[in-house]
Structures are given as C-alpha cells and as structure tokens.
Amino acid sequence: MTIQPIPASITVAGPGLPKVAYGRGSYVWDSSGKQYIDGSSGPAVYCIGHGNEEVNAAIARQLERIAHGYRYNFTSDALEELTAIVAEKCGGRLKHVVFVTGGSEAVESCLKIALQYHAAKGQMGRRRFIARQRSWHGNTLGALSISGFLERRQAFEGALMPASHLPPANIYRPPNGADPEMTGEVCAQQLENEILRLGANNIAAFIFGPVVGAAGARVPAPPLYAQRIREICNRHGVLMIADEVMCGSGRCGTWRALAHDGVEPDIMSVAKGLAAGYLPLGAAIYSEKVSRVITPAHGGPMTGHTFSGHTACCAAGVAVQRIVERDELVDRVRQIGPKFRKLIAEATRGIAAVGDIPGRGFFIGIELVRDRETKAPFDAALKLYLRVRQQALENGLICYPVGGNVDGISGDCVILAPPYNASEDELREIVDKTAKSIRQVLAAISS
C-alpha cells in the first residue's frame, strides 16, 4: 500500500482519506479491512474506546423515549443525572453546568458567562480576555479570538475580537531565557504585567489550558504557575477560566486536570472525554461565586442554544461517566500514566530527534527537534509532523500530529492519548508503532 500524499494541514479534511467502517475497543477498521490501533483516541476523544455496547444501549433506550427535550421547555433525567455527576467529579465550588454539543461551544459559553458576571456587577468595562500563544480554544469566532494558533487564525484575522496573547508557559522552552525552574513565576508575572498595562478594570478573564493539547503537544503548566495565576486573578478581580476540553474528564489522571496543581478555577470547559465521542457533548461549568452574581441579576447563564442539554447526548455522557467511575479508569490513568511515558521514552531512546516527552497521564507528546542541544526545530517546509502521521497510518496507528509549536510556523510534535481502558499490550503496540514511524520518516528525509 502506497502512503498517500502529505496533506497541507490537519485543519482541513483533504482528499484521499480512508473510509471508516467500524471500531471495537482500541481498534478501528477502514472499508478496505485495514486495522488501526487508536493511539490518540482520535483527537483525544474516545476515552473508553469504540463500540461500547453498554453506552450504545443507553443511547438507544433514551432514543426510544425521546431524543431531545428542548432545554427551555423541559429538564430531563439524563440532564439532571449528568449535572450531579459533573458537580461531584469537579468537587469544591464548581456546581453549575451548561451542557452544549462540543468544545468550541463550551469555551464560547465560558467566555459569555465571564462577561455576564462582570455585567451583573455593573462592570461593563471588563470586556478583554488574556490568553497565551500556542493555545487552542476552539473554532467559533470568540474561542478562535483567544487562541494563539497562527495556522488556524490567519484566514479570519480582522474579524476576531481583540485579546492579549502572552508567551507560552513551557519549561522546555522557557520565556526570555529564564531558568526552567523559574518558568512558572516568570509566566505568572507576565500575566500580572499585562493586567496592569491594560488596567484591571478592563479585564474579564484569563483563560489557559492546564495541559496544552492541540497547539503545544501536551505541555503541562509549570510548577507553582497555576497557584500564582490564581492569586493574581483574585487580587485584580479577574476571573480564571480553565480550558479542559482536551486535557480534562480524566485524561491526565484526575477528573479535573487542574486538580493536579491544587487549584480551582472560576469557570471551566470540558468536552471530549465527557461522552467519549458516542454523541457530541461539552459543558461550561461555573462556580458558586459566579452563580451568586449572575443568578439574581439575570436568572441564570445567558448562553443557551437549541441543542443545549440535548437529552440523548446527556444520556451518553451519563453512561460513559458511570463506566469511568465503575471501572476506576481515572485511577488507572493516574497509576499507569508514568509507565506509559516511560515506555515511550524507552522505545524512542536512540532517536536523536526526540527532544522532549511532556505530558500527564494518558496525554503525552513527543517533540521532534533538528538539534537536541539547541532545541532547534526542523525546517517547517518538511512538514515532519504530517509525515509521521501518514507513516503511522501506513503502519496501522492513529496518532495526533501538531505543527508550529515553537513559533507558530516551525516545530513538530506527535501526541499520544490512548483510551483509558487500553490494555498494557495495546499501549506497547501504540508505543512501538510510534517509534517505528518516527524512525522511518527520519530515515526517509535524511536519505
């Protein structure tokens, strides 16, 4: 079988893709019968694998009763059960939930809730958001505006709302030549400097991913960074939004990814692992602090859509989360995650181009560099990350490539995010095929 031509990007679904036929557990088959092991859960979505009969049956039971009770006419058992599950898993003061149909909608709702909070307090000047470069928050215009992802923004510049983008918080590539151990403090100070430059009375919220995914290949927040961010936001009356669409719902070994850092945000988004791709589902979750302000003023969050709280989607989420809880899958990710990362390190040992292997739990990245000593990236024109993806597909592996992680143009990473219930043999297969694919591509470009 000949490898298909390298696509121009991962942003557009190009021609020549295989046609998916079915999936079972950690494997997917295309219409030609070729088998792939799903090493990234697609785009970090399919956290309990494919074809789960228990989830499918729960969806079917809901569809037999009613597919969708419009949220502004009805509540539902599924909606109420999932709200209770999410509130319990979040813990603390994060008790209030708006269910939507995806990550971009979830982030968009978080932004609107933040603006609504300040409006309810009579602080209409607080309209500005601060985020970071090499961040990805979604494809709706608001979420895209706060995303620091050059390739995905370029076509829409001029129509995006103003937002501040600070340098990435990345220990492997510290800002301004800072020592790695000082990265958290330096990045936190950058936030405070920007708040002071713009005036705190103009800032609505700071949004960040506790572990950066699609834009940075699994870069966790530096030590103490989240704590310092929380202090700064509190001091200046700025809301803290944690975008956990990709890294949350157990992917990092805690249900809330930010729980690893001992910090609670005011508002957070989740999506991918919430219903595991069985039906589209996301959520904006907000705290008692936020609710106490917006509920008396407006009655509740003003960010609903036709399919908010979609009944069948919530039923899928309930079924998935019950399985995750019953089978102790988040604990499994926490326990096996370090072993998975070690397997990757061992399998790629001797590959000089492997510069860094960041991540947490079942959310691990492999950064490829031209020079390990200087951390210089490969020439962007090589599209190394896309070559690895294509070679991996040839080898029967699904992985998630990331490009431009260094400066928006250069930089190549591969993300592995297997299902939480992938067996240890399946994890080894994922790792071995990843290392093989990287070696093959590096050999091809050097020949």
Residue 408, domain member (yes or no):
yes
Cα 423 to its chain centre, rounded Å, is 23
Pairing of strands 203-208, 239-243: parallel
pLDDT under 50: residue ranges of the chain: 1-3
Residue 41's domain spans which residues?
Answer: 20-46+328-446
- Round to whole Å and give the CA distance between 62 and 275: 14
pLDDT at residue 217 in the model = 57
Q: Beta strands of 52-120 (E only): which ranges? A: 94-100
Last residue of a domain, one of 275, 291, 326: 326
Instruction: Name the H helices within 258-400.
Output: 272-275, 288-298, 311-326, 329-347, 384-394
Please check whether residues 130 and 275 belong to one and the same domain.
yes
Same domain, 409 and 321: no
155 neighbors 15 (Cβ within 8 angstroms) = no
C-alpha span between 41 and 45 (Å, rounded): 5
**Domain ends where: 302, 326, 350?**
326
Residues 59 and 171 occupy one common structural domain: yes
- Amino acid 7: pLDDT: 64
Output the pLDDT for position 9: 67
Q: What is the pLDDT of residue 218?
A: 60
Please provide the DSSP assignment of 178-236 as one string: --GGGHHHHHHHHHHHHHHHH-GGGEEEEEE-SEE-TTTSSEEPPTTHHHHHHHHHHHH
pLDDT of 386 reads 95
Both 226 and 364 in a single domain?
no
* Residues 146 and 206 both lie in one domain: yes
Both tokens of 282, joined, read 């996301």
| pLDDT on residue 2 | 43
Residues 109 and 256 in one domain: yes
Q: Whole-model pTM?
A: 0.95
Do 165 and 216 sit in the same domain of this protein? yes
pLDDT at residue number 216: 65
pLDDT at 438: 98
For residue 204, the model assigns a pLDDT of 98
Q: What angle do CA 133, 134, 139 make, to 5 degrees?
A: 100
* 118 shares a domain with 204: yes
- Does a structural domain hold residue 8? no
Do residues 332 and 257 share a domain? Answer: no
Q: What residues contact residue 385 under an 8 Å CB cut-off, 6+ apart?
A: 368, 401, 402, 403, 412, 413, 414
281 with 373, same domain? Answer: no
The count of domains in the chain is 2
For residues 133 and 198, state if they share a domain: yes
Q: How far is the C-alpha of 24 from the C-alpha of 371, rounded, in Å?
A: 40
C-alpha count within 13 angstroms, C-beta hemisphere, residue 307: 14
